[in-house]
Structure 1
Amino acid sequence: MSSDDVKTGAPTPTGETPLALTRRARRIYRLLAQRYPDARAELDFADAYQLLVATVLSAQTTDVRVNGVTPTLFARYPDARALAAADRAEVETIVQPTGFFRAKTDSLLRLASALVERFDGQVPGRLRDLVTLPGVGRKTANVVLGNAFGVPGITVDTHFGRLARRFGWTSQDDPVKVEHEVGALFPRKDWTQLSNVLIFHGRRTCHARNPACGACPVASLCPAYGTGETDPDKAQKLLRSGPRA
């Protein structure tokens, strides 16, 4: 659904009017923002280079594992030029705990080389430039833009996509379509924090398996209520305080 759909009254996934869907979506966001006032990207980083590298490493692993290796990686290779000239075997040894370490090492070395060759070693601050880099898609680009550059973007990871569908904000599976349909429901300025808040909620409460419905602050607004445990006491025990290791 696009912003034009809201104006024209096009069908929504839940059968609500576009205006009703927009109002419900924004109310959900407000309540979740109150639940997670400290929501942020959970990868540790000091600048755009570090966030870009950490996000590439986070594929098919946890932020906790990535945060465990990046201090060593960044101490050894503090910028793109250093990483581009790195010894492959040494990088593989450092990133091995994140899994798929040979493929990830290849991605990092190609990424660093592209940054040096095409952007003078600096991470570009535009989506159209970021997505031309090896191993960088829209999800990674939006993480970097939103959290390192302050450029609003929606990060459609597995948590965000799952919650957007459970909330009835979209029926799409394609991440780009999810990004566009959800983006039409919210002011652009909210996109980055919306992403962080939904990812927090997906990791802590609205799990892929057995979500803690009975302990969810937006249960009354969620079309998928009842997918998981509805008993308040049992649901409380399903809550997590942070991302999995």
Structure 2
Amino acid sequence: MTIANKTVLITGASSGIGESSARLLASKGARVVLGARRTDKLKEIVDSIAQDGGQAAYYKLDVTDPQQNKDFVVFAKEQFGSVDVMFLNAGLMPSSPLSALKTDEWNQMVDVNLKGVLNGIAAVLPEFVGQKSGQFITTSSVAGLKAYPNGAVYGATKWAVRDLMEVLRMESAMEGTHIRTATIYPAAIQTELLSTITDPGAKEAMNQTYDSYQITPDRVASVVAFAIDQPEDTNVSEFTIGPTIQPW
């Protein structure tokens, strides 16, 4: 099965990588189900996809709530009859030095970037196991591959996602459930994530980096589509993507 006619659930779908992926996948014949907290944005995207002839629906979703994740999956099945791919894309990046002790932001990152992924896995894994097929795609970060100042907690959540996906892939192979996984490690991609940074020094440094290097999120969307479009017997596990001119 290729992209066409697959039902793809996307968290963090109201902007950036999530929005671009939804638009691209819908244009290739996927049935996309968008989840995020900003329903006004989701409605605009879904209406636009429908006007272009695509199939899409949206659901108000807070990934930190386990029940909402389960309801998201139920909604998708009610809309389109199946669940084939879960793109766990929601994330926060309020970077700061550890010495700033922004512990509330640390907890927010753990709740969204790590627990949010776990909640999504828990919500859809029984479906994938039961049908012996499915695919998880996650948005990690280059901060999930190497350490960066101001990014200790953010990076820790993204390193955790990397391990989760790799173990999930291995366990699925051992259990014969045929679940595929792919983890994406973006560098400077045009995003709203920078708006979550409250530390002045970290914000200035990150803004300078992104202003100098960032590329558009549709570049990542094309990688998401590539991962989904592989034959069912083929797993492509990891993709690092960023601007050619950025020495990340």
Common topology (TM > 0.5): no
Please tell me the TM-score bracket, short chain as reference: under 0.3
**TM-score, normalised by the number of residues in structure 1:** 0.27
**TM-score, normalised by the number of residues in structure 2:** 0.27
Larger Rg: 1
Q: Give 1 or 2: higher strand fraction.
A: 2
